[in-house]
Structure 1
């Protein structure tokens, strides 16, 4: 089983370079100003310009309005829109129509009933990102370094391609893949030396372990 890796929250050339050379399939750029990983459109454009063909450049947005999406896309060559807020299925469809790009919708999970949303969003999104649900008082909807009980996903049929996120690190990613049989993983804080500071060596180690054979 080939596992795709997404490195999210990239904001420095050396981190982008490490992710590309190690074999990441998706590179994520965060357009959410409360995040320590936030980049402006000009910063993201400079980072994205060096990404080789075949690697998807993903823009992460939280409850964006149309003007924000249009202004960002006018400057940044994105391949995928990631919606990581409280966007409804109807809004996912609107964003797809507005941008003409595939949309990846994040769904937060803490308990079994949270998985019900995977069906509704799976009907409209091109991909799903199954993440740990953020605490009610959290400033960030993701990137909090939290995991959920991966056994909730064991054997579950999901109608669209999906990535597993939430609390993944080089040390636990292989086990997470074994338990969930996901075909893709997403990491942000798990490959950082400090909030918003990606560690190239951790990126390399994470991708190596995510793509290693599952025992």
Structure 2
């Protein structure tokens, strides 16, 4: 099974080019000041404009206000919004209706109890990102290089497209796909030489591993 790949946290033109060339389906740009992968609106606009057609441009935001989203979308030609904060199902629905863009909602998972919230978000989002839950007190809601127990979602049936994230690397992504049945996977820190600095060889290796899982 070939999984569609999202490379998130892109910050440099060369890395955007590598993502496009290796066959990734999604390119992610982070609008969150605490992240080492944060980009300005101007940077994201320039990076997005270099992408070839067919690669979906995803903007990751964390508890963004309408004013913040207005500013981003006025400049950056995004294809999807990824909500990675504590947005409620009602807020997800509001954003989707206001901007007319597909919305992906990230849900952090650490144990079986965290799965209960998935149904509410499935009802209002276009896609679900199932990610490892950030540790208490962490500055980042994602991109921490942590995984979760994949057997928690091994037999789950999904009503919407979903994406697996959390601690994925070129070395373990094939196993993760096998264990969960994921048809889409998301990676950020797992293909970096340093926080916020993508490694082109790791990006290519990850996409290749996801394709031959």
After TM superposition, the score normalised by the length of structure 1 is 0.98
The correspondence of residues 36-47 of structure 1 with structure 2, limited to 5 A, is 36-47=36-47
Instruction: Using the TM superposition, give the Cα deviation of residue 98 of structure 1 relative to its aligned residue in structure 2, in angstroms.
Output: 1.4
Counterparts of 1:118 and 1:2, CA distance in 2: 24
Counterparts of 2:113 and 2:86, CA distance in 1: 17
Q: Which residue of 1 aligns with 2:103?
A: 103
Q: Which residue of 1 aligns with 2:210?
A: 210
Counterparts of 2:11 and 2:98, CA distance in 1: 26
Runs of 4+ displaced beyond 2 Å: none
Counterparts of 2:116 and 2:204, CA distance in 1: 34
Instruction: Using the TM superposition, give the Cα deviation of residue 81 of structure 1 relative to its aligned residue in structure 2, in angstroms.
Output: 0.3
Describe the superposition over 1:92-124 as per-residue Cα deviations: whole angstroms up to 9, x where unpaired.
001011111000000000000111111000000
Instruction: Using the TM superposition, give the Cα deviation of residue 53 of structure 1 relative to its aligned residue in structure 2, in angstroms.
Output: 1.3
Q: Which residue of 1 aligns with 2:134?
A: 134
The correspondence of residues 135-150 of structure 1 with structure 2, limited to 5 A, is 135-150=135-150
Contact 1:134 1:140 in 2 (8 A): yes
Number of equivalenced pairs: 213
Counterparts of 1:98 and 1:66, CA distance in 2: 9
Q: Which residue of 2 aligns with 1:153?
A: 153
How large is the RMSD of aligned CA atoms in angstroms? 0.6
For structure 1, list consecutive stretches of 5 or more residues without a partner in the other structure.
none
Secondary structure of 1:74's partner?
helix
Counterparts of 1:104 and 1:191, CA distance in 2: 22
Instruction: Using the TM superposition, give the Cα deviation of residue 14 of structure 1 relative to its aligned residue in structure 2, in angstroms.
Output: 1.0
Counterparts of 1:157 and 1:56, CA distance in 2: 25
For structure 2, list consecutive stretches of 5 or more residues without a partner in the other structure.
none
Q: Which residue of 1 aligns with 2:34?
A: 34
